Amino acid sequence: MTARILCVEDNPQNMRLVRKILLHAGYHVLEANSGQQGMAMLETEAVDLVLMDVNLPDIDGMEVTILLRKNERFARLPILALTANAMHGDRERYLAAGCNGYVPKPITRAELLGAIAHTLHRQALSAQR
Ligand code: MN
């Protein structure tokens, strides 16, 4: 079954790059360019994994993640932070917010697909238990 990936990203160039890589890899891509739109889409769409930009125009991506984790329905939804500021301490901040991991910017095909495959695989394994 094709995994459905929601990309929450306000930068059109980054969105275009992510879309191109994911479609080419055979994923189904859903797109939101703000935190509010991302949360609204999660209410109505089936999503297997979220790529969450940290700097969004309305709500910080990590605030969105914290809100989602408070909802039982999204407690185990795989979320990967998309971030240009993967400095010391940032990784801890993303994990503390509830992200499963992060993909550093500039985004590369190998890192994006690797992180997604790894996260979906771990999710599948934990669902079997
Ligand atoms: Mn942004």
8 A C-beta contact, residue 112 and residue 80: no
Give the distance (Å) from ligand 1 centre to CA of residue 61: 9
Give the distance (Å) from ligand 1 centre to CA of residue 37: 14
| pLDDT number for residue 19 | 98
| pLDDT number for residue 91 | 83
| pLDDT number for residue 86 | 63
Interacting residues of 74 by C-beta distance below 8 A, sequence separation 6+: 42, 68
pLDDT in tens, 70-114: 999 999 999 999 988 667 778 888 999 999 999 999 999 999 999
Give the distance (Å) from ligand 1 centre to CA of residue 50: 15
Torsion angles phi and psi, residue 8, rounded to 5: -105, 105
Give the distance (Å) from ligand 1 centre to CA of residue 126: 31
pLDDT in tens, 14-58: 999 999 999 999 999 999 999 999 999 999 999 999 999 999 999
Give the distance (Å) from ligand 1 centre to CA of residue 54: 6
Give the distance (Å) from ligand 1 centre to CA of residue 57: 7
